[in-house]
Amino acid sequence: MPEKTGLFEVKGKLGHYLVGFQNGQYQISIRDENPKKKEYRPLISLRDSIREAHRILGNFILKKGNIAIIYGAGSLPLVQILVEQKKEKGGELIIFEADPFLAKHLVETYNHIYKDIPFITPNNLANLSDFLELYSAENMTGYRIISLASLKNLMTSFYEDAEKIFKNTFSSLISDLLTRLEFEPNWIYNSLAQITNFSRAWPVNELFNKGAGYTAVLVSTGPSLRLSLDWLKSIQDKVFIACVDSAYRVLHRYKIKPHLIISLDAQPYTLRHFLGLSMGNEGAFPILYADVVSNPQVVFRWRGPLLFGVTAQYKGSNRVVTPGCDFVEDEVLKKNYLGDIQSGGSVATSLFDLLRLMNFDRIILTGQDLAYSFREIHTMGTHHSDLWFSSATHRLESIENINDKITRRRHTIYENSITGKKILADYVLSIYRGWFSASAEKISKNVFNMTKEGLIIDNIPTISNEEFNQFKLKGIDLKNFILDPPKNKILLSKEIFNFYTSIENSSFSLSLLEKYKFLEKIGRKFLIKALRSEISEEEKNNLIQKQQNEQNKFWQMLIKKSRVLKKLNKSFES
């Protein structure tokens, strides 16, 4: 601890503080703003603040992979112990401090302790999620919240809000990591398989800004969509209808033709959204927008206008794209970017971002329940309900029971709906709602919700049919959106024309990792476990060997598929 320096008065937002060292003991006390209260009350132990800090920490030791969240910057001994642990064993420290003036004083006075610790105060609480996004989830093993009641009680609401944001963001980061570890091989394979389709597609940025002067309706498959179908049918010539792929079948059955369909999911079942339906016609609506990592079987079958783009996230100044897309952009497209679409985790959030980039004057949401309206997981008429009603399933229970079994497996909670009723929702759907709310707040365009049931979305007002009829709408000009035959198609380089041949002629070896960086993503879960766990060298080597085995299996799969992909490429060329 520093030598005795005396006590100094600090005027803060929450009161007047006395901070410093007296008789070699660090102290911090507070006097409320009330002028009748002249006495300072201590916020940490006056007898032995170091012993108090050790008692609060208990058996916890900060180490690599851990994040320690400290409530209140005022306990200097506690912070100093954790700083020393960080130097010795690694880990991260974050301080939540309700009084920005006190935070400023402590950093300036004890800079040697606080200088490298990020502070979250009421002044930057809104940026907490963005700040946490900069951390690598791969290196996280957990977090610990360390709190002194006396410091937290100065402004309980701030710490509760900060904790909620932190926990939601942390869960989202871990969930995103687990999703990546599960689906990265599919994403990479799909992006390589899509190469054969590039020569007949346009980059999605060809559509950017084409929506100016028009109104777009984003159609999702929430349970209440069926209540909006009559309205959609009556206005389909006045607005630009863009739907998620699962809604295509529902609209088709109601004789509503969307202008654009988005396909995002990499999983094989995505094809079921299209089976038995029109796969488009050249030079006519609907347009299909497909993410590069989406199911290539859908794209292979599509015969209408086709657009490609990539899902990208921006973490600070870093642009992060879905694994596989980086190789395609660098090696296939030679950095001729297709266009970035940001996502909040669902296909509907990606479609919203696309409509934003198309610069529509207003965007209307429908079927965006973000809840289990009527205790259903989606509207009737999708491929799911087709499967449930088919005789092939040998169904012995009601649709209500099927929906109930699915919702019971999820972490649900009752919330207030737009109709004032209590409605069943869950954590994941709430994340999507938060994304819509935050996105709508950041754009200048008008966004409205015409979903008939579901959760209230902050910053997106719910309007009625009568209010919608007040808008001045003009008919959709097909020429404004139908893309002319591209003069500059996405050209494949000479090396990429021979890409599949090179795969056939290469056997797996560690040297391939230098040439094809995407292989590093295959079996990555084993490598992460090896690096994060405190295990023996032998166990680490076994895990690394398991990753190499997964990479070899993936490479063998590419070799088997390469002949088929080469033939497809030749057929599209002709």
Predicted local distance difference test score (pLDDT) of residue 333: 83
Label residue 2 by pLDDT band (50, 70, 90): very low
pLDDT, mean of residues 75-91: 93
Strand partners, 416: 422
CATH 3.40.50.150 fits 50-174, yes or no: yes
Is the pLDDT reported for residue 3 higher than 50? no
Report the sign of the C-alpha dihedral through residues 478, 480, 484, 489, in that order: negative
Label residue 429 by pLDDT band (50, 70, 90): confident
Q: Is the pTM of this model over 0.95?
A: no
Which 8-state DSSP code applies to residue 274? T
Predicted local distance difference test score (pLDDT) of residue 489: 56
Long-range contacts of the stretch 327-330 (C-beta < 8 A, 24+): 327/188, 327/191, 327/192, 327/516, 327/517, 327/518, 328/191, 328/192, 328/194, 328/195, 328/292
Q: By mean pLDDT, which of 157-161, 305-309, 523-527 is the weakest?
A: 523-527
pLDDT, mean of residues 71-81: 93
Is the pLDDT reported for residue 317 higher than 80? no
Predicted local distance difference test score (pLDDT) of residue 464: 93
Predicted local distance difference test score (pLDDT) of residue 179: 82
Predicted local distance difference test score (pLDDT) of residue 443: 86
Angle between helices 537-573 and 524-532 (to 10 degrees): 160
Domain ranges of the chain: 50-174, 201-474, 498-573
Is the pLDDT reported for residue 158 higher than 80? yes
Is the pLDDT reported for residue 4 higher than 50? no
Q: Greater confidence, 286 or 415?
A: 286
Spatial CB neighbours of 181, under 8 Å, sequence gap ≥ 6: 524, 525, 528
Tokens of 139: 């290196």
Predicted local distance difference test score (pLDDT) of residue 34: 62
Question: Per residue in 464-512, pLDDT tens?
Answer: 999 999 998 988 887 888 777 665 555 554 566 677 777 777 888 888 8
pLDDT, mean of residues 147-157: 91
Label residue 83 by pLDDT band (50, 70, 90): very high
Mean per-residue pLDDT over the chain, rounded: 86
